Structure 1
């Protein structure tokens, strides 16, 4: 029987609210494995953003996080603590594409914050200066002065 899907339909003999309450109680009684893994994933994500911020701030190559920073951190943690703690660092996403996306996300967020502050109704003055360096690459400087 190709292409045949068999669906079992059960009659609902209970109230939906009771069903959801029972499901909630059963998940609360489960071991805290899910909350622990979620917390670890959130920490790994935050760590990834912090590393991306440092990479951008120091104008390093995006591959530096995966090739230099992560192995160095793992060596330090393995030396000071243990192998189990060092293995947790492997869950931090630090590939060059990931670091690039994180830097773009941080830049967009900072730009949105700046625009929101400028649109808040406070008077400001803006000054633009465009120049070219010896390699004929244009550089735009923007000075914004506002009252606090």
Structure 2
């Protein structure tokens, strides 16, 4: 009844408890007790072995999922580094192109804080709020440093 209500679980005596009780009886009864004890010990052993195998399977699955997650994280990191390198080379190339074709504002915009902000986003996978402020300030400085076109 206690098991059904969910209160205290009923205490099941182990095979050794049973053997201790039977040891107090005469030798004929002890032989019967040991014969009855063998299947109980085998059942308890099998239950312990099943529990141990289940625990080992759970641990193996946990380790395998951790390994898969580490592989995914490594792939994301390598992809981020590759993207950062691509962005860095593209912005440096664009800066060089615009710098040699008389577009200094665009050359400065692609170089400097913009380059650093984009590489930081891809390589470190984070961005600070000040990054865009630095980019905007650099663009303003570049625009104010360029002389106006002749009329």
Per the normalisation by structure 2, the TM-score is: 0.28
Give the strand-richer structure, 1 or 2.
Answer: 1
Give the helix-richer structure, 1 or 2.
Answer: 2
**Structure of higher CA gyration radius:** 2
